[in-house]
Each structure stands twice: as structure tokens, then as C-alpha cells.
């Protein structure tokens, strides 16, 4: 399959890129890794008249910690996120999400912003980012704004990103005190697999380490967008951690899921696996919290 015709732009700065996006609006698409964009263009699912390459912009690169936040450049490759000690030590579930994405070849090309911007229900990085309460920094010609990752998605393939906006950075808060997080992906294969179910869990303990102060459970591939399992979160908050508690939380999470039947799995199987994986993710996150 051949790509449709388009005008190619390679700005040298983020400001220049924003100028181009402002000029062409919804007729333009940003290109970094291209693992989703170029495939969709070949399939004639989208036909932008202008493609704006942002892959080499310094303002959209790098991984650094500032003011209690891990800041990840939008054009940062997933492979670099997966191998970053800074990320694995401070926000480990993000590292696990990156490690589970696609294959080594795809991880070497794909970017974190692309995985978010594609808004796929089964994407690997949104659940782990949501577990930490991460935000994206959106930049346009005349404005910039921060949006929570969980508020970014409107539906499959749809986001709240404006046609003139670019993701500049992903901001992941570093939790304080005793905390841990985990990410689990269920698929038929170990690589190049789209999730049947994925779950991210975050647990923060109180000062004495005997009760759960804060918890987040995020489910992927079981609803049109990644969702918080609020029933599970509310069930464990303030409680003393235990396997039986996490098992009940898994059942609560399953009730929050809205899966469908497709060729990968039935809705019933997905709901059952949400219960199992939520229990495992919460327990692993709790164990990590006790060692932090």
C-alpha cells in the first residue's frame, strides 16, 4: 500500500511546529515515530494534507526530574522509557507499560505521545500513567495547558487535543512516602500483541504502613477508553492490606469493566481476568510499597 500525497514539514523548533499546526489545523498531523500514523495513512483511514515531523525537536525530547515530577518529552522513544533507570526507580509502572508495548522494533520507533494520541482502548502506557495521576502539557501557538491523562480520551481514536495543539511533555508526579505501583498485560503472545486486558494499580500506605491511604486501579481494553475502577479504589482505601481485600477489589473492578466480545476474547473472559489481574496488581503494588 502506498501513502497518499501530502506536504511534508520539518520544523526546527517547537515554536515553528506550533505555527504550522495553527496554519493548517485539522488538515495537519504530527509525525514522530509513525508506527500508527503512517499505517493508518496507508490504509486510507486518515488523509492529512500536511505532515509535521516533530521527532527531532529538542523541546520534545528527554527524561528529567524537576520539582517532584518526572518530565518525559513527547517524542521520547518507548524503548528509552523502558530502559530508563530514572523512570523505573521513581515511577516503575510506567517502565513496565513501556516494556510491554509492541516489539523491540516498534519500541525503538514509537513515542510516548503517539501511544497516548492514538487513543486506543488497549494501549499500554495510558493505564500506568493514569495510575500515577499523570498529566500532559499541550502546546499551541498562543497557549499551553495541562490536561490529566484520564481526561485526554473521548472515545476510541478520539482525544481532547485541539487540531492546533501538540503534546510537549508528559508530567508524572513522584508520590511521597510508602508507595508502589504495578502494570500487568494479558495477551495471547509475549510480543506484538494487543492487550486482551491490562491493569495498572497504585497503592500508597499511611505513615505506619498498616492501612491504605490512597489507591488507583486503571483498566484497559475493557471499555471504549482506559477507565478508573472507582469501586475497587473506594473499597481498599483506609483498609488494612490483605489478599482477601484485594480479591474483593478485583471483583469490584470486574463490575466496573465494560468489555465486549471480539475475536480475541469474550466479554465474560475479560471480566473474569479483570478480577484476577486487579488482585495481582494491587498485591504487587502493596508489596513494593512496603519496601519503599
Task: Supply 60's cell numbers.
Answer: 520534545
Query: Are 202 and 150 a contacting pair, CB within 8 Å?
Result: no
Q: What is the DSSP letter of 203?
A: E
Which CATH class for the 179-290 domain? alpha beta
CATH number of 7-53: 3.30.43.10
- Domains in the chain: boundaries: 7-53, 58-173, 179-290
Return the percentage of the chain with pLDDT > 70, whole number: 99
65-97: pLDDT as tens digits: 999 999 999 999 999 999 999 999 999 999 999
Task: Supply 121's cell numbers.
Answer: 482502548
Virtual torsion, Cα 56, 58, 61, 65, nearest 10 deg: 170
Query: Are 174 and 70 a contacting pair, CB within 8 Å?
Result: yes
Is 193's pLDDT higher than 90? no
Task: Supply 228's cell numbers.
Answer: 478508573
Average pLDDT over residues 17-30: 98
Average pLDDT over residues 208-226: 97
Return the percentage of the chain with pLDDT > 90, whole number: 95
132-173: pLDDT as tens digits: 999 999 999 999 999 999 999 999 999 999 999 999 999 999
Is 188's pLDDT higher than 90? no
One DSSP character per residue, 96-134 reads HHHHTSS-HHHHHH-BHHHHHHTT-TT-SHHHHHHHTT-
Query: Are 123 and 197 a contacting pair, CB within 8 Å?
Result: no
Is 231's pLDDT higher than 90? yes
Q: Is 83 exposed, middle or buried (0-12, 13-18, 19+ CB in 10 A)?
A: middle
pLDDT on residue 1: 76
pLDDT on residue 189: 76
Instruction: State the CATH architecture for 58-173.
Output: 2-Layer Sandwich (3.30)
Average pLDDT over residues 238-263: 97
Average pLDDT over residues 255-264: 94
Q: Round to whole Å and give the CA distance between 258 and 13.
A: 42
Amino acid at each position: 500500500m502506498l501513502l497518499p500525497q501530502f506536504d511534508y514539514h520539518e520544523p526546527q523548533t517547537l515554536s515553528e511546529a506550533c505555527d504550522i499546526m495553527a496554519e493548517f489545523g485539522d488538515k495537519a498531523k504530527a509525525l514522530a515515530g509513525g508506527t500508527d500514523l503512517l499505517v493508518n495513512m496507508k490504509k486510507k483511514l486518515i488523509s492529512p494534507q500536511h505532515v509535521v515531523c516533530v521527532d527531532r525537536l529538542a523541546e520534545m525530547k528527554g527524561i528529567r526530574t524537576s520539582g517532584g515530577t518526572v518530565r518525559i518529552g513527547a517524542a521520547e522513544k518507548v524503548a528509552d522509557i523502558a530502559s530508563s533507570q530514572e523512570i523505573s526507580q521513581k515511577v516503575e509502572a510506567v517502565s513496565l507499560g513501556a516494556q510491554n508495548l509492541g516489539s523491540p522494533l516498534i519500541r525503538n520507533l514509537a513515542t510516548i505521545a503517539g501511544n497516548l494520541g492514538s487513543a486506543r482502548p488497549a494501549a499500554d502506557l495510558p493505564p500506568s500513567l493514569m495510575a500515577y495521576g499523570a498529566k500532559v502539557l499541550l502546546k499551541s501557538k498562543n497557549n499551553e495547558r495541562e490536561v490529566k491523562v484520564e481526561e485526554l480520551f473521548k472515545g476510541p481514536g478520539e482525544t481532547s487535543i485541539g487540531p492546533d495543539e501538540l503534546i510537549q511533555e508528559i508530567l508524572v508526579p513522584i508520590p511521597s512516602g510508602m508507595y508502589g505501583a504495578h502494570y500487568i498485560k494479558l495477551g495471547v503472545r509475549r510480543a506484538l500483541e494487543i492487550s486482551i486486558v491490562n491493569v495498572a494499580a497504585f497503592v500508597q500506605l499511611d505513615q505506619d504502613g498498616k492501612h491504605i491511604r490512597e489507591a488507583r486501579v486503571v483498566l484497559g481494553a475493557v471499555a471504549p477508553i482506559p477507565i478508573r475502577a472507582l469501586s475497587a479504589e473506594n473499597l481498599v482505601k483506609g483498609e488494612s492490606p490483605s489478599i482477601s481485600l484485594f480479591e474483593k477489589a478485583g471483583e469490584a473492578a470486574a463490575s466496573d469493566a465494560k468489555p465486549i466480545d471480539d475475536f480475541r476474547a469474550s466479554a465474560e473472559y475479560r471480566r473474569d481476568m479483570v478480577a484476577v489481574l486487579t488482585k495481582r496488581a494491587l498485591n504487587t503494588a502493596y508489596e513494593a510499597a512496603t519496601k519503599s
